[in-house]
Amino acid sequence: MQDTVTQQQPIKRKWVRFLTIFMVSILLLLTVAYAGGTLYIKRSLPVIKGKISLRGLQDSVTVTRDQQGVPHIEAKNLHDLYVSQGYVTAQDRLFQMDLSRRQASGELSEVMGEKTIEQDHFFLALGLRRAAEASYNLYSNEAKQALKWYADGVNLYIDEVRKANKWPLEFTLLGYEAMPWTPVDSLTIGKSMAFDLGGHWKSLAFRQYLLNTVSEEKALDLFPASPTDASEIIGAVKQSHLDLSKLLPEKVVLNELNGSNWVVSGSKTKSGKPILANSLSASLTTPSPWYETHLQSPELNVSGEVMAGIPGIVVGHNEFIAWGITNADTDDQDLYIEKRNPNNPYEFLHNDTWEKAQVITDAIRVKDKPAVDSKTIITRHGPIISGGENTETALALKWTASEPSTELEAIIRINSARDWDSFKEALTYFQAPAQNFIFAAKDGTIAYRMNGKIPIRKKGDSLLPVPGWNDEYEWTGYIPWEELPTIVNPQEGFITAATNQMADQSYPYHIDSTGIQSYQSSRIQEVLQQKNAITVEDMKKLQMDQLNLKARSFVPILLQHIKEDELTKQEQEAISLLKKWDFTDDRNLAAPLLFHTWMQEIGDVLFKKDISEDMQRLFEGKEQVIDQLLREAHNGQPGPWIQEQGGLDKVLKKSLAGAVQSIVESQGASVKDWRWGDFHRLVFTHPLSYIEPYNYLFNPETPIPIGGSNDTVQSIGFNAEGLADRGVSSYFAIDLHDITTGYHIVAPGQSGHIQSEWYHDQMKDWVKGTYHTTSLTEKSGSILHLLPAR
């Protein structure tokens, strides 16, 4: 027995030694593989130090990237400045730029495969690139030069990485190379901004769906107002039986974005000079839609944020003025119901005549698959977006952004404006989408202007699709530029423009039927009215404000209609959270979690049975509709949606039970352990992160618990899983007492390269509200000299 044990011991030691060697070898191989993979990825990092020779430069250019990776580009002439901006932006954002132009042009499937075919069909029908091409000749020679110089710079970088075969990782993974950049690519990205900020057509299609799905009484209960010419329009809508469930492709996201900006005059500031604050809203993605840049030449010294892919600065300041932009959300889109000739699918009725539509056929190239034909039918009102070729009726989209326009001309001119008059003159070139511009000048002037093309309709109010078979509902023109809503140096000493209408009831023109929830704007006004001797630190704090005025308004209503003795013990504990809540959407509190979950459950109780999940994506202003239904019911006038559920008390009891159960399933039964931030989390998603395991590669950060919501000044929307998918992606504030210094956050970071130190370095800054400064006069960091190639 002892001999057997003695014989087994050397065998065990051999196995232990073998397993140890095996595990060490595996660990070593993994380490080598990781190190090799990291080195391979790093080889495509752009050169940001030393010297690079570039063809076409007229003189030397200095590019200083500061601690946040913001490029300060200093050139001796405008030609070199824009060439260098194109080159430097491509260094940090080439894949994003290429993907943006592909999406807007309907060319994603060529690199993404068959999953994006429907998305390409959609964008080819919208015709953003067609509109960009039609716009080019409207630009001045100076603007065309800037667009070409910028494109030349992008192409210099594309040529550089092609020759060295050091493409950013996304190109390698998808197996393709970027094509040369053109001025029209920049214009197309400019047009895509109109798509990202627009979406009014969704609400028109949704209301048509309602009228053909539920009773007229229930449908009208969800309208923001009663349509004019109701019987005629509703009759036409009910006769057009179109399947709208697939109108919006699954991968196309249209977020309702709540941005905000404001400006305070020197009479209310500590410095005696205006202070301006601007928040840019967008989908929260990696990299950010916005790219911070400082451009300097003898003719220009301007700094701020710009969309990667276009020249100049969209929001920022120069040595004389500062400005901001937020969406105006005007009714600049209409859907027309077109009657199709039963004998010819490409002819449509108009004033008793069959008119031939324009038919454009494109080939959608698909990765590893045969090309797919895409046919766009364009009536006098615009492209058919629903109805195909086999229906009696179809929907055509008329949209200001489908027309030729010159937004980038306006941006280039704004960059060199010196006062309100020259700034306002530059806005004559800004046509689509309509935007709220705020302005401050070193001379003390503050101003606001809603600017862009806003249609004047012969008839109708843009609440529903309208008949396209006669001329009764045509656009007759646009609000005259001289009469667009404008405010200069108001007596109150401040102006707010948080995606809400700035025209009062006496304004003679129609702007918007839907209206926008004004909780953000009301909160901003509340703070500004109460404060004097305002500092830029106060404004940064306000941009991060998490007080929820919606909750402050609705919690008392909710509690009034809840009978606590009918609740479970757990539901009673949950209600006690709201009674003690200070209405801040603090990530460490449980009350915000209950409130937001409850409000979502109210929507499910009211709508889930009758409105499909596909159509819920078109339900623009859903939260606002729920607010209105609750207020009316609370005031003794419940509509049919609430009456069908047994009245407001029953709706709230049922939805509270659903909310509590939902939270218990995700965060446990102990109410004291619930946290808003455990549900509401931040992750800036990369466009390839939906493909496993690329999500671990491009989104390495664990989602960060965050406060705020879509109802707070710190605007952060979220999806059903609680992940923040939309909100403010860029913050900017400036005190014109020191007009050379701006305060910024551009999350998640400046670079789109995963091995860059500036890839996700501003994520936590965004959560904490930690701003960095960018100066027009002082800069330090990594220095790259761009030299003319000899």
Each residue's pLDDT tens digit, 632-689 = 999 999 999 999 999 999 999 999 999 999 999 999 999 999 999 999 999 899 999 8
Residue 345 has pLDDT above 50, yes or no: yes
Q: Summarize pLDDT for 527-545 with one digit per residue, the tens.
A: 999 999 999 999 999 999 9
**Confidence band for 7, pLDDT divided at 50, 70 and 90:** low
DSSP state, residue 587 = T
**Average pLDDT of the chain to the nearest whole number:** 91
Residue 4 has pLDDT above 60, yes or no: no
Residue-level pLDDT at 194? 86
Buried b (16+ CB within 10 A) or exposed e, 252-266: bebbbbbbbbbbbbb
Count CB-CB contacts under 10 A for residue 198: 21
* 758 Cβ neighbours under 8 A, 6+ residues apart: 68, 69, 92, 749, 750, 751
Contact between 539 and 271 under an 8 Å Cβ cutoff? The reply is: no
Q: Summarize pLDDT for 204-239 with one digit per residue, the tens.
A: 999 999 999 999 999 999 998 887 777 778 888 877
Q: Which of 83-92, 283-292, 383-392 has the lowest mean pLDDT?
A: 383-392
Q: Which of 144-153, 257-266, 408-417, 708-717 has the lowest mean pLDDT?
A: 257-266
Task: Report which of residues 249 and 104 the model is more confident about.
Answer: 104
Calpha distance 352→734 (Å, rounded): 59
Structure tokens at 736: 């014109």
DSSP 388-429: TTTSSEEEEEEEGGGS---HHHHHHHHHT--SHHHHHHHGGG
Closest to 288 in 3D by CA, of 268, 260, 308: 308
The residue-averaged pLDDT of 118-135 equals 96
Contact between 296 and 84 under an 8 Å Cβ cutoff? The reply is: no
Residue 397 has pLDDT above 50, yes or no: yes
The residue-averaged pLDDT of 71-77 equals 98
Calpha distance 678→665 (Å, rounded): 13
**Confidence band for 33, pLDDT divided at 50, 70 and 90:** very low
The residue-averaged pLDDT of 229-254 equals 74
Q: Summarize pLDDT for 429-470 with one digit per residue, the tens.
A: 999 999 999 999 999 999 999 999 999 999 988 999 999 999
Residue-level pLDDT at 196? 81
Residue-level pLDDT at 6? 54
Calpha distance 152→56 (Å, rounded): 9
The residue-averaged pLDDT of 355-374 equals 97
Angle at 42 between CA 689 and CA 70, to 5 degrees: 80
Residue-level pLDDT at 255? 58
Residue-level pLDDT at 691? 78
Residue-level pLDDT at 692? 76
- Sign, CA dihedral 283-286-292-297, equals negative
Q: Summarize pLDDT for 708-726 with one digit per residue, the tens.
A: 999 999 999 898 899 988 8
Contact between 723 and 683 under an 8 Å Cβ cutoff? The reply is: yes
**Confidence band for 32, pLDDT divided at 50, 70 and 90:** very low
Calpha distance 44→64 (Å, rounded): 20
The answer, yes or no, to whether the previous bond of 455 is cis (omega within 30 of 0) is: no
Could you give the dihedral angle defined by the CA atoms of residues 331, 123, 284 and 708, in that order, rounded to the nearest 10 degrees? 30
**Confidence band for 31, pLDDT divided at 50, 70 and 90:** very low
**Confidence band for 34, pLDDT divided at 50, 70 and 90:** very low
Residue 355 has pLDDT above 70, yes or no: yes
Task: Report which of residues 512 and 676 the model is more confident about.
Answer: 676
Residue-level pLDDT at 786? 98
Element (H, E) at 77: none
Phi-psi region of 12 (alpha: psi -120 to 50; beta: other; left: phi over 0): alpha
Calpha distance 590→673 (Å, rounded): 8
The residue-averaged pLDDT of 23-39 equals 51
Burial group, residue 591, by CB count within 10 angstroms (0-12, 13-18, 19+)? buried
Residue-level pLDDT at 771? 98
Burial group, residue 231, by CB count within 10 angstroms (0-12, 13-18, 19+)? exposed
Three-state DSSP state, 501 = coil
Residue-level pLDDT at 501? 55
Q: Which of 206-220, 312-326, 512-526 has the lowest mean pLDDT?
A: 512-526
